[in-house]
Structures are given as C-alpha cells and as structure tokens.
Structure 1
Amino acid sequence: MKRSPWRYLWKSEDIRRKLLITFLILAIYRLAAHVPVPGVDREVIRNIVQTPGAAGTLFGLLDLLSGGTITNFSILAMGVYPYITAQIVLQLLVPIIPALERKLKENPREGQRWMEKWTIILAVPMAFLSAIGQINIFNQYARNIGASILTYQFGFSGADLLPTLTTLFSMMAGTMFGIWLGQLISEYGIPNQGLSLIIFAGIVSRIPANLISLWSDRQNAWWMTLLILVILVLVIFAIVFVQQGRRNVPVLFPGRRVGNRMSMPVRSNLPLMVNMAGMIPLIFAQSILLLPALVAGLFLNVQTEWVRNLATGIYNTFSGNSGLYALFYFLMVVLFTFFYTDVLFTQQNYGEALKRQGAQIPGVLRGEPTQKYLTKVQRRITLPGALFLGLVAVLPYILNVFLPTSARQAGLFLVSSAGLLIVVGVVRDTFTIIETELKLHGYEERLIKG
C-alpha cells in the first residue's frame, strides 16, 4: 500500500508556515477589494454592469476576473492586470529589439531580474493610463443612461484637478498594492504563484454570488445545477488533459569522461507543450473583439443617420451575444494562440541551448536547423491545442442557446471560460509546487506493508 506525502502536509513546519502566510495575504487582498475609490457613485456602476450588450459583457468580464471589484469600484478595480499587460508588452518586445534579446541570452538570470524590474516600472504608467481609460469608458456609458459615475467633473484643471488625481492615484495605489501582495506570496508563501493566486482568489470569490443567481430560478435550479456540474467536470477533465499534453522529442546528449573512461551517450526527451500560451489568447481576443462595440457605443446617439446606423450595426454584431461574434471569437483565439506560442518559443531558443550542451536531435543538425525543426513540431502540436482553446472560449455561447435566462445570468461555468482556465491552471500548478516542496523536505511517496 502506498503512503502519500500529502498526509504530511500539516506536519512540515516550513510548508505549514507558507500555507498560512498565503491564506493571510489572500484574506488581506479580499478585504482591500471592498475599499471604495473616493468620488465614485457605485450604484451607477452596478447599472452599467447589468446593461445588456457589449458594455455589460465587457464590464461583466472585468468584474468577474477582478472578483467583483468593478461593481464595488474599489481601489483594486483594475486588479493586477496592468502588471500582466506590462509583462506581455516586454515579452513581445524581446524578439523585436536585438539588444534586449542578446541581454537575456548572455545572462538569463540577470536578464530575468532586469525583466522583473522593468515590468514593475512599466506597470506604473500602465496603471495610470488604465485608470483614466476605465473611468472615461464608464463615464461615457453612464451618460447613455443619463448619469455619471463620478460625483465631480473629471478633468485636470481648476477645482476638479485634486479630486481627479485622488481618484486616479487611489486606483494606481490599489493595483500596486495587489502586485506587492502577490510578490509577498511568491517570496514567503507558495513560491512563484503570487499573482496567479491573487487572480484566482478574485475569480472564485464570485462563485457564491453566481450560485445564488442560479438558484433564484427555483423551478429549474436542480436540473440546471446538475447540468452545469456535469459540463464543468467534463470541461475541467478536458482542460487538464490538454494542458498536460506533451510531445516528447528525442534528444541525444553526449557521453562524459569519468576518469579514464568515456560514458555512453544519454538518450532523453525534450517535452513540447500542446498549449504553451495558456489563457492569454482568450484575454487578447475578447479585449480586441469588444473594442469595436465599445467605440460604436459612443456614436449610438449622434444626429447623423448613416453614422448612427453604422454604429448600431457594429454594436449589435460585436455585442458579445451574436453568433457572428462567437465565430470571430473562435478564430481570434486560434490565431492568437499560434502568435503568442511562436513568440514564447522563439524566446526560449531551444536550438542554441541544445547546441551549447552538445546535445542533438537524431537526424537534425545542431543550432539553427534544430530550432527550425522544433518550431515546425511545435506549430503542428499547437493546432489541436488552439482549436481546443477556441472551443472552450465559445462553449458558453453555444450552450447558452439551450439554457434558460437564469443560467445565462449565473454564467455557464459559474466563472468565464478564461476564468475556468485560470482556476484549473492555478490549482494544478499549486498542487505540483506543494508536492515538490513535500519531496524536498523528505516526504516521499512510500510503500508500506498493509
């Protein structure tokens, strides 16, 4: 009979301390999520989030991923996404700027520290611009319902300057506070999982409210709950199966001299992931596809008839509820998956790394030919991963056609498709890290006599 190392989870003082610190910091984050931004009318915000169409869809997504902080318009209304945006921007700049790419290749450890430092620096202006954009977008859609989200006139002159800066700096401070809490978790709690757990906590905090919304329709509550649980189990199983998918490329490492003897060459495998991009393509695709509807929403009430008609057509097409939107969403997720995977794979440059180690893929020359071969293999296995990601993205749109209104309002997965991918990925990575920590502390899986 096997004895799992997990039974020692609470016995290890170091691991217990890390878990308690992680839970404490997440509790502090959730408390901060209820601290309101000064000068904001939260009732107007709630009305906008509940508005049907592109505005309601986008703001509902942001509210879900931020753990309800959009509805409350707390100081954490932007979450830690300015940091993630800064991180993505720097990753995309690496293959474009040769000096930056060379810096990361020459000294990977120093290059990583440089990337982390400039990601935080870039997150500050990103947070400032995001705060301005978020307030302006909400204000514009508030005007469509004859209201304003602010208790003052937003501007950078006169008597409005001080309250405007107070609101902006409050939102920026909230974002940087969230980033700092994430870094504390990575340093003193569960290693390298800080920001992921911050986002995870925001997503799962909305599940109770969505369950209450689901059970508001008492007539259909039982069968809808059963249906959603069955779909959840199947989709989570499929996500884990695909996320764990690897293509093992055989690699031959040269033998080493030990004393007067030369050891035999070592055969190993280079695992290539089926889905290297994670949930990033879903966020990219949804943000870009909702942009036309958000822009069109600004022209719905103009006097010029042809402009108003054009804006109405664009708004209805990209409102997030049409079949055409679901089709575009699927295609964009597939395209972004290929694009982002290519960017990440190019940065890793396996061909050069294997060449430095003297390793070789049988039948393939070292260096650039190896990189080209691996890129071809990676693109081939990315296809099923991209198609699966696209299917998960549009599955709520497909099944919502057959579900009653209460189920649609609660959310098919109780979280969004992007949220579900994040939740599954974070849980899987966290369990792997904890299991590794247990093994490092000597708590191996052991065979005992029954």
Structure 2
Amino acid sequence: MSGLISAASIPELRKRVIFTLLMLLVYRMGVQIPTPGINGDALAAFFEKNASTLFGMFNMFSGGALENFSIFALGIMPYISASIIIQLLTVVVPQLESLSKEGEAGKRTITKYTRYGTVVLSVIQGFFIATGLESMTSPNGVPIVIDPSLQFRLMTVLTLTSGTAFIMWLGEQMTERGIGNGISMIIFAGIVARMPAAVGNTVELIKSGELSLIFLPIIVVMMFLVVGFIIFVETSQRRIPIQYAKRVVGRRVYGGQSSHLPLKINVSGVIPPIFASSIMMFPATIGSFIHIDWVQRFSAALSPGTVYYYTMYVGMIVFFCFFYTAVTFKPDDVAENLKKNGGFIPGIRPGKKTAEFLDHALVRLTVVGAVYLSAVCVMPTLLIQQLNVPFYFGGTALLIVVGVSIDTIAQIESHLVMRNYDGFMKSGRIRGRH
C-alpha cells in the first residue's frame, strides 16, 4: 500500500493511472448504450434462461454488453481473433515474417492489417448475430427484434462494427498512454464488472433452494485456493545462472559478475486462455444463429459442458502456449546476445549449444505451464457447473483477473523503480523485479 501511495506522487505515473481509469469508464458507459431496434426485456429474459450456455461465457467476456446488446456487444473478441490469424499467418507467409523483423515500421504495418481484419470479422459476426436475433424470441415467445428487416441488419452491422473499432482504439490508447495492456485491461474490467451480478445470482440460487447453503463455503474456499495457486505459479520462475567473462579495456576490468536469466513457468501469461476462448466462441456463436440441423448439432457439441468442448479447449490452450512462447522468446537470439556480451551458462558452450539448452528448458517449462493453465481453466469450471454456479466464478475468469492484476502491478513497480521510489521494494512480494 505504501508503494501505491508513493505512485500517486509521481506525475507521469499518476497521469497514466488516471488516463487508464477514464478509458475504462468510457468503455463501461458504452456498454450501457443499447443498439436500436431491440426489445430489451425480451433479450434480458433470453439471457437469463441461457446464462449457463455459450451465451453466458460470451456475455462475461463482453462485460455484459451482449446481454444489453449495446453498441459494444461484440466486445474485443474480433480484435483478438484477428490478432490470432495475423500471428499464425506471420509464421507461414514470408512477406509477413519479413515485416515482423523490420522493427517498429514492420510492427505498425502488421497492426494495420490486424485492424483491417478486425473490421472484416466484426462485419461477419455482426451480420450473423443480426440475422439470428430476428428469429429468436424470449421464453414467453416475445420477439427480440422489434422490426426485422434489411435496414435493421445493416444498422446492426454498422453499429457493432463501429463499437468494436472504438474499443480497439481505446485498448491501443491505454497501452500507449496508460498502465498495463489495454486489451487485457478491457477484458479485466468486463469480468470484474460482472462479479457483483454473479454474487447476486448466487444469493438468489441459495434463496430459491437451487444451490445448497452447504456448498457456499466450498465455493469461497475453492476461489481463494485457485487465486493463491495462480499467484504462486505466475510469480514462479526458473533462474538459469549466467557468468560473464572478465574483459580488460584499457586500465579497466569489465565483467566477471554472476547473474541469472529468469524464465517464467508460464511464459505466455493469460494469452492462451483468451485466444482459446475466442476461437471456441467464434464458430459456435455463428452456428447457434443458423437453424440448420447439422449446424445445430455441431454448435451443441461445442457448447460449454460437453466433452468435445473441453477437449478442444484444452487442446487450444496447449497449442497457444507453445505458439505464443515460440513467438515471444527466441533462444537463438538470446544465446547470440549472451555470446556478444561475454556471457555464458556454466557447463554449456556459448552459441548453438546454449540455444539448444535454452530451448530444451523452455519446452519443459511450457509443458508445465500448459498443464497449469488447462487445470486452472477447466477444473474449477467443471466443479462449479456441477453446483449450478454462474460462469463468472470459473477458472478462466479468475486466471485473467489475477494475471492482468499481477502484470499491471509489475508495470507500476517498474515505474516506481525508475523514479527511485522503493515502496514496493521494501515490502512487495512480486518476484523477479531485479
């Protein structure tokens, strides 16, 4: 807390925190603005009935925007899907791969392609959602769309696409001028905003007798255990010892120190669950709006709670763990930099052997990280579904909230250290800051 109080006295950091909070406030205000042409009561009744289905999870990631069918109903998921597609194409398309190696200019070009892809995906998703809503009714048979027509579809596509583009801009501004990763912060804010509603729903389930009061302490204890486990693993790391050779330059002696290379157990952070959830929601959401027999069966097979869903979900998490780690950490580059600076791992030859050692260590850590992410995202959700508790207490939501919080605190710490504020350094418990 002393570190947070010290942060308020740093003008630059204070501006960044205030800017982030204002952007999140703008986002939450937009969530409350409904898209024209929708019967709000009928839509609310529909989501109340389907809270434990795919719609409930999608609504969680959109921060309740889908339930209100606001201008931000699509949320940030089209941007995440576009980012996944562009990153996958970067591996297989030589032109994109060369762009990724061109530094800041290439990064700006790839970001531009990601924005274009976001708009295209938003238009596609918006059209399918508008078409599907026209044929949907509340449990009482009241139509959700007041006046189904081509004009409604076009207006909905334009509104939802514009809303997603605006959220994308908000996220980029928060990343550049605020604290933390803007896209992750938006997802974080959406999940946290739904927590009070989830608590209220749980209380109602207890009052109605659908959830036994005996299970409530079990749920609370399980949440604390999962949060503690997430914090422990996210702050854990393997420290590979690094020794620097002595060099004599003129009359001065450089090097000779011992250091370490920290490798996190979960190198990819919360990205794999977010990417996996986005991939799992995209086809199933489209399929749920198309009333064709085989499409409906396919959509039902990939709905939360089925064996196929969890199998594919775990497979996606494992894939993105390895993929994102391979994209962000280059053992060859690290080995080359160590060699140039006179550093080496004791007992390992510099150069190729060092790269092979780092790659081997990274693969083993990624396996452990993938198992950890899969267990945290799936096991609590499976247990909670047996108790009939809303999605918001699931492992995926807790992982994102805790992971984003840790990353944000780490960024605040880095600003404090740069300004010689040692509030966190004296009593903080976030490891790996040195």
TM-score of the two chains, using structure 2 as the length reference? 0.83
**Does 1:370 pair with 2:347?**
no
CA contact (8 A) 2:168 2:183 kept: yes
How many residue pairs are counted as aligned between the two chains? 423
SS of the aligned residue for 1:40 comes to: coil
Task: Specify the alignment match of 2:170 in structure 1.
Answer: 181
SS of residue in 1 equivalent to 2:145: coil
Deviation by residue 1:303-361 (Cα, 9 ceiling, x = unmatched): xxxx69xx65x666543224564455445433443344334435984344445545443
1:439 to 404, 409, 417: 417
* Distance across 1 between alignment mates of 2:287 and 2:177: 47
Map of 2:395 onto structure 1: 417
Q: Return the offset for 1:45.
A: 3.4
Match of 2:74 in 1: 78
CA distance in 2, matches of 1:383, 1:363: 25
CA 1:324/1:111 → structure 2, altered by over 3 Å: closer, same or farther? Answer: closer
In the aligned structure 2, how far is the partner of 1:348 from the partner of 1:93? Answer: 22
For residue 258 of structure 1, what is the aligned residue in structure 2? 249
**Higher deviation after alignment, 163-172 or 329-338:** 329-338
Distance 1:25 1:327, change over 3 A: closer
Deviation at 1:237, TM superposition (A): 0.9
112, 122, 130: which one aligns with 2:107: 112
1:400 counterpart residue number:
384
Q: Report Cα offsets for 1:210-231 as digits up to 9, x if no partner.
A: 1111111236676544332211
- Contact 1:70 1:77 (C-alpha < 8 Å) held by counterparts: yes
Question: Is the CA contact (8 Å cut-off) linking 1:245 and 1:274 kept in structure 2?
Answer: yes
From 337, 350, 358, give the equivalent of 2:334: 350
Q: Which residue of 2 aligns with 1:380?
A: 364
How far did residue 402 of structure 1 move?
Answer: 5.2
Q: Deviations over 1:101-157 (max 9, x none)?
A: 34433x434333333343334322232223224334555665999775434445xxx
Between 223-232 and 31-40, the greater mean CA deviation after superposition: 223-232
Structure 1 partner of 2:406: 428
Which of 266, 290, 302 aligns to 1:275? It is 266
% identity of equivalent residues? 33
Partner residue in 2 for 1:390: 374
Cα displacement (A) at 1:281: 3.0
Q: Mark the CA change 1:277 to 1:51 in structure 2 (over 3 Å): closer, same or farther.
A: farther
How do 1:48-197 residues align onto structure 2 when only pairs under 5 Å count? 48-52=46-50, 57-105=53-101, 107-139=102-134, 149-153=144-148, 160=150, 162-190=151-179, 192-197=180-185
TM-aligned CA deviation for residue 240 of structure 1 = 1.2
The secondary structure found in structure 1 opposite 2:120 is: helix
- Aligned partners of 2:19 and 2:174 also within 8 Å: yes
Paired residues for 1:198-277 under 5 Å: 198-216=186-204, 217-218=206-207, 223-277=214-268
Instruction: Quote how far apart the aligned CAs of 1:32 are.
Output: 0.9
Larger RCO: 1 or 2 (CA < 8 Å, sep 6+): 1
Alignment of 1:37-56 (within 5 A): 37-52=35-50
Aligned to 2:28: 30
Distance 1:292 1:184 in 2: 29
SS of aligned partner of 2:74: coil
Partner of 2:429: none
Q: What amino acid is aligned across from residue 431 of structure 1 in structure 2?
A: I
- Segments of 5+ residues of structure 2 without an aligned counterpart are 427-434
Deviations 1:359-399 (A, max 9, x none): 44344454454333322211111222211111112223432
CA distance in 1, matches of 2:409, 2:362: 27
1:338 aligns with 2:322: yes
1:406-442 Cα offsets, whole Å, 9 max, x none, are: xx2x34xx44422211111111112122222233333
The answer to which of 356-365 and 374-383 deviates more is 356-365
1:157 is aligned to none
Distance in 1 (CA, whole Å) between partners of 2:276 and 2:178 is 33
User: What stretches of structure 1 of length at least 5 have no aligned partner?
Assistant: 155-159
Superposition deviation, residue 34 in structure 1: 0.9
Q: Give the equivalent residue in structure 2 for 1:6.
A: 4
- d(CA) in 2 for partners of 1:395, 1:365: 42
TM-score for both structures, normalised by structure 1? 0.80
Q: 1:389 to 1:138 in 2, by over 3 A?
A: farther
Q: 1:265 to 1:398 in 2, by over 3 A?
A: same
Measured against aligned partners, the alpha-carbon deviations of 1:162-208 in whole angstroms (never above 9, x if no partner) come to: 44332211111111222222233334332x43222222111111111
Aligned in 2, Cα 1:345/1:263: closer, same or farther, shift over 3 Å?
Answer: closer
CA contact (8 A) 1:36 1:74 kept: yes
Is contact 2:226-2:395 (8 Å) kept? Answer: no
Contact 2:37 2:145 in 1 (8 A): yes
